[in-house]
Amino acid sequence: MKSSLLLASSLSTLVSSLSSEIAADAPFHYIPIDYNYGYNERVTANLTYGTASDAQPVRTVLDTGSANFWVWGPDAVINYGSQYLGFTGPCNTSVPLEYDLLNSTTAVVTNHSSYYSYGGNSKILSGTQYSNDTITASGGNGAISNTQFALATHGQLRQYDNGSCLGTTYDLAILGLAPYTTDLYTAGPLFRQTLYETGAVAARTVVMWFNQAVRVGEKFTGGALFGAIDTSKFTGPLVRVPNAGGAVGLYVHKPLIKINGKTFNTSYATDCLVDSGTHADSLPFSYTDNQESAFYNATNGMLMAYNGVVAYNGPCSAIPANYSIGYEFAGVNANESITINVPIRNYARSSSSYANASDAATVCPLNMDLTSDCIFGATFFTALFLAHDEGDGSIAFAQGGVASDGSELNAASFRAFGAGESF
């Protein structure tokens, strides 16, 4: 999710089948990912922290929009209930122990302060210790030892509560995938850099994909590979697109937007954040020059504005599987471009935007809005095959969402990268 300015400053059978089927000539790590059905879901993986005998997997956000890696430490408290930035709310809640570092024989804890801020400071976390420990991805290709992450012990969420303190929802852990930069938002710990420095991968690459959608109301399954690629997870060419640089996260130049045979070059001159830790897509259409109404007109009444978001003009279950929106990105080479087609029904994620419950029979609010920002969130990732090389900063896109739901790594199309190799 978007980092913000600081104000003051298993499946064990699967593991064995994978390691026997995949003959890799370089080290790599595979982390299965999913994207649950729900309005505020993001790209997640089940990671087990440490080696305590009763350690359970923790649902961890895999976030291309931030760089640091943290999990809740012991005795953590979250404060909430103020709708104003920077104010302590009336409510707090204890975070159940999820990383039992005292019972993890592999834990090495050091004193180190941490301070992370997300979403315009609406979510602030801090702690005083880091841990180096083993983490294990459910369904992955084995434990990753000596991984460093921060232990958050205090959280402050900006979230209104009427004083009853009925509870809050919060992330259990965030693993940042955004590349290291020299600014303070990437103070670390940095998962990708640690993987590379400890020799757990030989190349500083990550690729991420989702499989085909099942139906509206289902979660998506997919994977992330560090130091390797599986080319059966996309179709067509993998095209390098310019890295637009800028703030923390992956930024690309804005694409042309294609719907129902019409093409739009949106009016806002902005680059786009590619952010697996954001729940929705925001497209930079301007309402002041009629571009927004031209967009809706182009859909011949299939899409409509509804309660601040883009909606399908019918119930969610009726969205045709072949109805999609295309995003055409210019390539690094002037003769190349890549269009990512996202099925519209992938945007139906149990929206909270209904004006009233009776509308559900006639309209389907989507996880898509038209604003001055350009953000490609988890919804976009359902159809994207993303490749990023932290070594040279290159970003490449291909059409994802093609492998069958729940599919595993494919030995025939798998390749691990040696030192100096890339996608």
Ligand X SMILES: *[C@@H]1O[C@H](CO)[C@@H](O)[C@H](O)[C@H]1NC(C)=O
Asked if 200 touches ligand X (CB under 6 A), the answer is: no
Minimal distance, residue 138 CB to ligand X, in Å: 4
Which one, of 62, 5, 360, lies nearest residue 207 by Cα?
62
Asked if 77 touches ligand X (CB under 6 A), the answer is: yes
Q: Which of 163, 199, 301, 420 binds ligand X (CB under 6 A)?
A: 163
Range 284-343, binding ligand X (CB under 6 A): 290, 293-294, 297, 320, 322-323, 333, 335-336
Of residues 13 and 358, the one with the C-beta less far from ligand X: 358
Size of the site for ligand X (CB under 6 A): 45
Which contiguous run of DSSP H or E holds residue 246? Answer: none
Minimal distance, residue 199 CB to ligand X, in Å: 11
Q: Which of 9, 12, 20, 111 binds ligand X (CB under 6 A)?
A: 111
Minimal distance, residue 79 CB to ligand X, in Å: 6
Asked if 127 touches ligand X (CB under 6 A), the answer is: no
Q: Is 248 helix (H, G, I), strand (E, B) or coil?
A: coil
45 vs 135: CA distance, rounded Å: 12
Q: Which of 18, 34, 64, 124 binds ligand X (CB under 6 A)?
A: 34
216 vs 318: CA distance, rounded Å: 9
Q: Which of 9, 13, 20, 164 binds ligand X (CB under 6 A)?
A: 164
Residues pairing with 416 in the sheet: 228
Give the number of other CB atoms < 10 A from CB of residue 355: 11
Of residues 162 and 182, the one with the C-beta less far from ligand X: 162
Token pair, residue 398, equals: 């291909």
Asked if 171 touches ligand X (CB under 6 A), the answer is: no
Q: Which of 48, 136, 194, 346 binds ligand X (CB under 6 A)?
A: 194
Q: Is 355 helix (H, G, I), strand (E, B) or coil?
A: coil
Of residues 52 and 252, the one with the C-beta less far from ligand X: 52
Minimal distance, residue 205 CB to ligand X, in Å: 18
Token pair, residue 148, equals: 């460093």
Site string for ligand X, 351-370 (x = CB under 6 A): ----xx-xx-----------
345 vs 274: CA distance, rounded Å: 20
DSSP characters for 78-140?
EEEEB-STTPPPSEEEEPPP---GGG-TT-EEEEEEEEEEETTTTEEEEEEEEEEEEEEETTS
Of residues 5 and 57, the one with the C-beta less far from ligand X: 57
373 vs 365: CA distance, rounded Å: 19
Minimal distance, residue 366 CB to ligand X, in Å: 15
DSSP tag of 154:
E
Q: Which of 56, 197, 246, 262 binds ligand X (CB under 6 A)?
A: 197
Minimal distance, residue 377 CB to ligand X, in Å: 18
Say if CB 380 and CB 341 are below 8 A apart. Answer: no
Asked if 90 touches ligand X (CB under 6 A), the answer is: yes
First to last CA, the chain: 25
Asked if 108 touches ligand X (CB under 6 A), the answer is: yes
Buried b (16+ CB within 10 A) or exposed e, 44-60: bbbbbbbbbeebebbeb
Residues forming contacts to ligand X in the complex (CB under 6 A) are 32-34, 45-46, 52-54, 57, 77, 79, 90, 92, 102-103, 108, 111, 132, 138-139, 146, 148, 162-164, 194, 197-198, 256, 265, 269, 290, 293-294, 297, 320, 322-323, 333, 335-336, 355-356, 358-359
